[in-house]
DNA sequence: CATGGTTGGATAGTGCCACTATCCGGCGAG
DNA sequence: CTCGCCGGATAGTGGCACTATCCAACCATG
């Protein structure tokens, strides 16, 4: 398959594919001659994954490169791979970098988050992990706006998150092959986020109608 | 309070506050003289909300303006206000506009999503609503990558989403005042997204450790 | 063999968007 | 008086995901 056909089958412009090749998101095609290269089905699949991560998952190009490098890395067991994937994924609020906020709200948030995770016994990822920091930032913002979000309130959401992760892992384990599972751990983590959030919005509308109308 | 103090108390640069005033995200201050204006606590609160929507919720400035206009709109009942807020919120994958994709994956996704929502009886928001379209896009992407996401698989996530929305509405109803609830419906919908997704990541790590190690 | 369209690679440019820097005249504290 | 701060208007910046252009090699066709 040539670049043009890869573009036609994926719907991605050739210029964009070249860009991804340059950025290392897509492995180079098999060299046919000095100025020609050929691509296979695996390139098509990877290209679709890249598009999904970037467009649906809103992942920055640089992050996608790191995540995909981890996916391709051999010699990692299932758990570390999922860990790497989860670690590298940017989450919903990457923020303007390590600006080390230390206001009252952030300190409160750290305390509530810490006590929540301690109570749940969730100690795989501690402070410093992206998910943890994102959580602290979000809770700090809620605190700053004056909304209740002590560990008690958060616990309810944590229990629900645990159910989601069970569904995630069930789905992951139902897939064949180990390589596929690694890729899937990334793809499913990212792509089920919009699914979950959209369903939440739809469910909110239903629940709101139930409570405020009929 | 002058602009400089508003800036100091919120941590937002004065230039940025001026920008928000220009964009209509923040109501103008009370005119003290021809070239002086004063701001109150409500401006501080609104400014924090704006920052939260834009930075934590990743909402485009234009969308934030619309959402806040709906929040300020009097003469809307609770349900419509939540509806407007939820409708205007952009969700995780706004996409490159109404490009009317109509490939096989999208058609499959529309069918699965339709049958899922029909089965659940969720008919508040049909096709055309942002949440619905976001869901279709995400499912289409999953289909394209070859992951299982029939209505059956999605139902499990939908049930979990329903639990989230119950928690959301419980929290909303626990707040005093009606104006506060309107603002809260926006703030909580947006700000609990990172909370939920971060908790999911943390829970995934725990669940993964439980299954693949111990 | 000529030749014209196509291919892959390199380089520079575009468009969007959330700010941000600068300038200007009016105000007000000392 | 006066000098620095205030608010408002205008234009510029930086980041990022592409995208347009150019070039020489390549291959199919006549």
Task: Determine contact: B83 vs chain A, CB below 8 A.
Answer: yes
Task: Determine contact: A36 vs chain B, CB below 8 A.
Answer: no
Task: Determine contact: A76 vs chain B, CB below 8 A.
Answer: no
Is the Cβ–Cβ distance between B148 and A171 less than 8 Å? yes
DSSP character for B53? I
Rounded CA-CA distance B178/B157 in Å is 31
Contact assignment for B86 to A201 by CB distance below 8 Å: yes
A152 touches strand D (CB under 7 A): no
Q: Which residues of chain B have pLDDT under 50?
A: none
Is the Cβ–Cβ distance between A188 and A168 less than 8 Å? yes
Give me the residues paired with residue B30 across strands: B38
Considering all nucleic acid strands, name the nucleotide whose C1' atom is nearest to the C-alpha of residue A29. Answer: C8
Write the pLDDT tens digit of every residue in A166-204: 999 999 999 988 778 888 999 999 999 999 999 999 999
Domain positions in chain B: 91-160
Give me the residues paired with residue A104 across strands: none
Contact assignment for B55 to A95 by CB distance below 8 Å: yes
Rounded CA-CA distance B27/B79 in Å is 25
Task: Determine contact: A186 vs chain B, CB below 8 A.
Answer: no
Determine what percent of chain B falls in helix, strand and coil, rounding each to the nearest 5: 70, 5, 30
Q: Where is pLDDT greater, at A121 or A79?
A: A121
pLDDT at B102: 75
Contact assignment for A156 to B167 by CB distance below 8 Å: yes
Write the pLDDT tens digit of every residue in A156-169: 999 999 999 999 99
pLDDT at A177: 83
**Least CB–CB distance from A86: residue in B89, B162, B204:** B204
Q: To the nearest whole number, what is the mean pLDDT of chain A? A: 89
A145 touches strand D (CB under 7 A): no
pLDDT at B87: 80
Rounded CA-CA distance A175/A152 in Å is 36
Q: B16-39: string of b/e by CB count within 10 Å (b at 16+)?
A: ebeebbeeebbeebeeeeeeeeeb
Write the pLDDT tens digit of every residue in A48-103: 999 999 999 999 999 999 999 988 887 777 777 777 777 877 666 665 555 566 78
pLDDT at B149: 87
pLDDT at B100: 61
Measure CA to C1' and name the residue nearest D16: A60
Task: Determine contact: A135 vs chain B, CB below 8 A.
Answer: yes
Chain C positions with an atom below 7 A of a protein C-beta are 6-11, 17-22, 25-28
- Confidence at A15, pLDDT banded by 50, 70, 90: very high
Rounded CA-CA distance A180/A172 in Å is 9
A61 touches strand D (CB under 7 A): yes
Backbone φ and ψ for A122, nearest 5 degrees, come out as: -90, 100
What is the Cα Rg of chain A in Å?
A: 21
| CB-CB neighbours of B164 under 10 Å | 24
Distance D4 C1' – B11 CA (angstroms):
23
Contact assignment for B45 to A93 by CB distance below 8 Å: no
Q: Which helix (H) or strand (E) holds B38?
A: strand B36-38
Measure CA to C1' and name the residue nearest C22: B15
Is the Cβ–Cβ distance between B175 and B181 less than 8 Å? yes
**Least CB–CB distance from B195: residue in A135, A195, A198:** A135
Of A43, A124, A19, A115, give the one whose Cα is nearest residue A80: A124
Give me the residues paired with residue A36 across strands: A33
Its CATH architecture, for the domain A1-56, is Orthogonal Bundle (1.10)
Task: Determine contact: A193 vs chain B, CB below 8 A.
Answer: yes
Q: Where is pLDDT greater, at B74 or A25?
A: A25
Contact assignment for A56 to B187 by CB distance below 8 Å: no
């Amino acid at each position: 398959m040539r670049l043009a056909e890869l573009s036609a089958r994926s719907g991605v412009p050739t210029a964009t594919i070249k860009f991804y090749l340059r950025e290392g998101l897509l492995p180079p095609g098999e060299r046919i001659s000095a100025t020609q290269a050929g691509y296979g089905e695996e390139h098509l699949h990877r290209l679709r994954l890249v598009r999904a991560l970037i467009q649906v998952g809103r992942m920055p190009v640089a992050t996608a490169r790191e995540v995909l490098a981890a996916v391709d890395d051999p010699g990692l067991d299932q758990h570390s791979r999922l860990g790497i994937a989860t670690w590298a994924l940017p989450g919903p609020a990457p923020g303007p970098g390590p600006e080390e906020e230390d206001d009252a709200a952030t300190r409160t948030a750290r305390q509530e988050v810490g006590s929540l995770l301690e109570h749940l016994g969730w100690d795989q990822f501690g402070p410093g992990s992206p998910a943890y920091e994102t959580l602290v930032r979000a809770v700090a913002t809620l605190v700053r706006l004056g909304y209740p979000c002590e560990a008690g309130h958060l616990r309810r959401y944590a229990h629900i998150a645990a159910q989601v992760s069970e569904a995630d892992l069930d789905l992951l384990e139902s897939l064949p092959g180990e390589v596929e599972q690694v890729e899937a751990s990334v793809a499913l983590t990212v792509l089920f986020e919009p699914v979950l959030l959209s369903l939440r919005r739809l469910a909110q509308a239903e629940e709101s109608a139930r409570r405020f109308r009929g």
